[in-house]
């Protein structure tokens, strides 16, 4: 069986950049955030900063905190048939981590990407995604995701990549790490 890596971090810390680095090396990526964005589109709800969090919270309330992990596990198992490594982008909760640990045991790693709130807000402003808003929206997202256990996931990650500099520095440190796997 191959290795499953889940990348975690607060909004705009650099999870997407981490995923892009792995994807550029041929590692398939499945995004938990994309699952929520797809749910919003499927429901025909106009995209706005608070909508994505509301839908993610609603899915968890209706189906359990591990709903997205359960939905994703089969797709990842399928990818493992042909790939030695698969990345899950956007691990946000301890319930999700439990599903992944139960599925892949010691073939599962959690990576955290970290960045200061000020830098993350600068990134939010520059990327202009529909789920991004002002500083208050970022702080609300941080608090909501901490309620799912994101702060615990980050603190207990198998490896942490500080992302306080530029993309080249992140790419260099992630590439060096990948070469050790």
- For 3-56, what is each residue's pLDDT tens digit? 999 999 999 999 999 999 999 999 999 999 888 988 999 999 998 878 888 898
pLDDT the model gives residue 130? 62
**pLDDT tens profile 89-136:** 999 999 999 999 999 999 999 999 999 999 999 998 887 666 667 888
Give the ranges where the chain is alpha helix by DSSP (H): 15-24, 32-42, 49-63, 67-80, 94-104, 117-127, 135-147, 150-155, 167-178
Domain boundaries, position 28 = 3-178
Q: 171 vs 25, 82, 121, 167, CA distance in Å?
A: 11, 25, 21, 6
Dist. CA 81–CA 1, nearest whole Å? 8
Dist. CA 131–CA 138, nearest whole Å? 10
Instruction: Give me the number of domains the chain comprises.
Output: 1
pLDDT the model gives residue 131? 66
Dist. CA 7–CA 2, nearest whole Å? 16
Tokens at 72, concatenated: 């994703």
pLDDT the model gives residue 13? 96
**pLDDT tens profile 126-146:** 876 666 678 888 898 899 889
Q: What is the DSSP letter of 154?
A: H
| β-sheet with 159-162: strand ranges across | 29-31, 85-91, 3-8, 108-114, 159-162
pLDDT the model gives residue 89? 96
Please tell me the pTM assigned to this model: 0.90
Dist. CA 61–CA 95, nearest whole Å? 13
How many other C-beta atoms can be found within 10 angstroms of the C-beta atom of residue 75?
14
Q: What CATH number is attached to the domain comprising 157?
A: 3.40.50.300
Dist. CA 120–CA 163, nearest whole Å? 10
**pLDDT tens profile 136-179:** 888 988 998 898 899 999 999 999 999 998 899 999 999 999 99
Please answer whether residues 21 and 171 qualify as being in contact, where contact means their C-beta atoms are separated by less than 8 angstroms. Answer: yes
pLDDT the model gives residue 1? 77
* Contacts for 170 with CB less than 8 Å, ≥ 6 apart: 14, 17, 18, 21, 113, 161, 163
């Amino acid at each position: 069986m191959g290795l499953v890596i889940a990348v975690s971090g607060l909004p705009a810390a650099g999870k997407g950049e981490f995923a892009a680095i792995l994807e550029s090396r041929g590692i398939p990526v499945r995004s938990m955030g994309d699952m929520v964005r797809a749910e919003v589109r499927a429901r025909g709800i106009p995209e706005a900063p608070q909508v994505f969090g509301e839908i993610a919270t609603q899915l968890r309330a209706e189906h359990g905190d591990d709903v997205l992990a359960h939905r994703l596990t089969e797709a990842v198992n399928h990818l493992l048939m042909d790939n030695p490594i698969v990345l899950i982008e956007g691990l946000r909760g301890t319930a999700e981590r439990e599903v992944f640990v139960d599925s892949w045991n010691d073939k599962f790693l959690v990576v955290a990407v970290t960045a200061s709130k000020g830098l993350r807000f600068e990134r939010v402003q520059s990327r202009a995604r529909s789920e991004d808003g002002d500083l208050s929206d970022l702080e609300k997202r941080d608090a909501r995701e901490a309620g799912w256990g994101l702060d615990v996931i980050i603190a207990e990650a198998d490896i942490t990549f500080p992302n306080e500099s530029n993309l080249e520095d992140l790419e260099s440190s992630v590439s060096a790490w990948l070469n050790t796997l």
